[in-house]
Structure 1
Amino acid sequence: MIKNIRYSAVIALVAVVVGGGVWHLNKHASDDANQATDDAYVDADLTVISPRVSGVVEQVFVSDYTPVKAGEPLVNIDERDLAIAHKEAQADMMTAKAAVTTLDAQLARQASLIKQAEATLQLDKAKLSLAQTNQKRFKNLARDGAGTVLAKQQADADLKTQQAIQARDEAMLASAKQEVGILMAQLQQAKAKFESAQAKLNGAILQQSYAKLTAPISGLVAQVKARKGGHVNVGQPLLTIVPIDKVYIEAQYLETQLANVEEGQPVTVKVDALPGVTLRGTVAHLAPASLVSYSPIAPHNATGNFTKITQRLPVRIHLTPGQEALSKLRVGMSVRPVIHTDQ
């Protein structure tokens, strides 16, 4: 009797296993044109708002679950320290700019000095030519006895004086031209300092702008952690914006269901939270790998022992805009999408 009961239990267990396997296969393979899954949910690309500067929260403009539009203010951080840094950078830039202006003026003045030295040198050459002529004339007169020795000596002295003056003015002209090179080098250095000061000023202005956090996208605000008077650090999450108008479906399909699934195919979606509502959408993307493939611990070991398990791959479904029920969707809601592979 007991033996018969055991046999009956084994037969019943085998029947359950076989029946379950047949049901599982029928569930996913009997209707290849309509591929469904219960492993799916509403998702969205959430935006976490974090400050790029540290400081004390001066004002919070939003609260949890309130709508916000792109560009609207979210949080203000006390910017007085940043304003001081801004003014210091502005003063440094003005100082550097003044140095550039001064050197430009010195270069212009140096050009005038060079022209003046060149004119003086031309005059020196004329005077030297006259002195050379007089010296030659008085030398000849003295040799012929028509002129005095004193006149000859005076002509010789005038010639040497003019030669010395010309040599001096030539040196001054050369020095003035060399000064241009020095001023040009100083100008390049001053311009580099000016550009550096300007970059620091731009950086200070940018840092100050970070004190005012605005919404980068439209959506509903959630997880507001910013509090007036509280201190925040760079990168600290202050709140999250959920783009409700851009939600999508993230569905996990068995690999055996994806043979005929392609991007662009129509999808009907039923939402657990909205009985009687059917939403329309399309297949947007098929994931390049299963979720387990991204695991830090490889699912395939090197011992050769491998257990075959049917994998699931993510399929992203975009919902057709304009459907009234879309406004009721919330991230995380469970859904049941059906991909119609025959359409």
Structure 2
Amino acid sequence: MNTTNINTNTNKTDRLISRITTIIAIIVVILLLIWGIKTLFHHFNYEETNDAQVDEYINPVVAKVTGYIQEIRYEENQEVKKGDTLVIIDNSEYAAQQQEAEASLLNAKAQVDILRTNVTTASQASKVNQSQIAAAKAKLVHQEQEYDRYKKLYDVESATKQQLERVEAALAVARSDYQTALDAYQASVARINDTRVQQEALEAEIKRREAVVTKNNLNVSYTIITAPYNGKMGRRTVQRGQLIQAGQVIAYIVDWESGKWVVANFKETQIRHMAIGETAHITIDAFPGQTFTGKIESLAGATGSRFSLLPPDNATGNFVKIAQRIPVRIRLNGKPEELKALAAGMNANVSVSKE
């Protein structure tokens, strides 16, 4: 009796386990079928690649002048805003050059003022000389008339030779005075012209010195290095008191204002259905479960291997046919604060519809 009951219970347990196993197997098969159908549907309707990375502009911050670093106002990986001061360079030398250039400019402007005064004075002197010419001309005309009169009197013996000689001498003096007045007027005009030429030359020199002042002002302003846009600083490679040269890279900054994009390297056999402006779906390995969207901005004009330092040459005899990759640039949609967490170099998976 007991043996029969045990066998009956065992059979019931086996049937229950078999039934549960069958149900589980059916559920697994159904799930696999759903996954397979979904995968096949996605494969036939989308081109996808996991050879993709997030990218953004990472630009160098370059010193424009040579000098010793006086102060550093940023730390590694610090978020900065456009206009924030990053580095201050000692500007003592550039400030002295600026003061010297400004003093030279003021001196040149003062000399121009003096020359303008000289032109005015010479113009007044020229007017005086013109008046003297008129007076000398009137005196000369009078003496010529006197000479003609005495010459006629002398010819009819109504005047003595001594009187004629005295009038003739007075005429010579009048002529000399008239020529002297003319020469003085010409000299005054020449002085005016010379002064004006000097003034023009000095005004040109003023423009040159103004350019020097502007340049020195720029050099002084260049001693304060600021963030060119909103972004995030990279590694800090300089120290206080360090001598840096003009053109030297002192830091790198990630540009947040220019947006972010993904460079997806699709196989050459995948890009025939792609077009600029088409929507792409992107997942980032660092943020599983979150999907981003973007639009195709451009397709590269050559395969990625052609942009390498040493592009392969298939004519060397070791040719192996390999599917080439075409870089596709996809601009990420979203506001800067929404994409802030995405960093350049992060791996991504990209899918683009074939339709």
What is the distance in 2 between the residues matched to 1:239 and 1:324? Answer: 23
Superposed CA RMSD: 2.4
- Counterpart residue number, 1:10: none
After superposition, the C-alpha distances for 1:213-270 in whole angstroms (9 at most, x for unaligned) are 1111101112122322222222222222113462211111111111011111111111
Residue 49 of structure 1 aligns to a residue in which SS? strand
- Counterpart residue number, 2:205: 193
1:315 pairs, out of 314, 325, 328, with 328
What is the distance in 2 between the residues matched to 1:221 and 1:323? Answer: 16
After superposition, the C-alpha distances for 1:269-317 in whole angstroms (9 at most, x for unaligned) are 1110111111111111111222222234342365577543322121111
How many residues end up aligned between the 2 structures?
Answer: 316
What is the distance in 1 between the residues matched to 2:127 and 2:318? Answer: 93
Note if contact 2:256-2:336 (Cα within 8 Å) is conserved in structure 1: no
Note if contact 1:48-1:238 (Cα within 8 Å) is conserved in structure 2: yes
Note if contact 1:56-1:78 (Cα within 8 Å) is conserved in structure 2: yes
Note if contact 1:282-1:320 (Cα within 8 Å) is conserved in structure 2: yes
Which structure 1 segments of 5+ residues have no match? 1-26
1:327 pairs, out of 321, 327, 340, with 340
Aligned residue identity for 2:255: P
TM-score by length of 2: 0.82
- Counterpart residue number, 2:105: 93
Which structure 2 segments of 5+ residues have no match? 1-38
Note if contact 1:135-1:155 (Cα within 8 Å) is conserved in structure 2: yes
After superposition, the C-alpha distances for 1:10-68 in whole angstroms (9 at most, x for unaligned) are xxxxxxxxxxxxxxxxx99x946411111111111112112111111111111112211
Residue 234 of structure 1 aligns to a residue in which SS? coil
1:251 pairs, out of 253, 264, 267, with 264
After superposition, the C-alpha distances for 1:180-207 in whole angstroms (9 at most, x for unaligned) are 3333332232222222211111111111
Aligned residue identity for 2:290: V
- Counterpart residue number, 1:153: 165
What is the distance in 2 between the residues matched to 1:260 and 1:169? Answer: 97
Q: CA, structure 1 residues 289+273, in 2 after alignment: closer, same or farther (shift >3 Å)?
A: same
Structure showing greater radius of gyration is: 2
Note if contact 1:244-1:330 (Cα within 8 Å) is conserved in structure 2: no
What is the distance in 2 between the residues matched to 1:288 and 1:297? Answer: 18
Which residues in structure 2 correspond to 1:46-125 (within 5 Å)? 46-125=58-137
- Counterpart residue number, 1:173: 185
Matched residues, percent identical? 27
Q: CA, structure 1 residues 205+331, in 2 after alignment: closer, same or farther (shift >3 Å)?
A: same
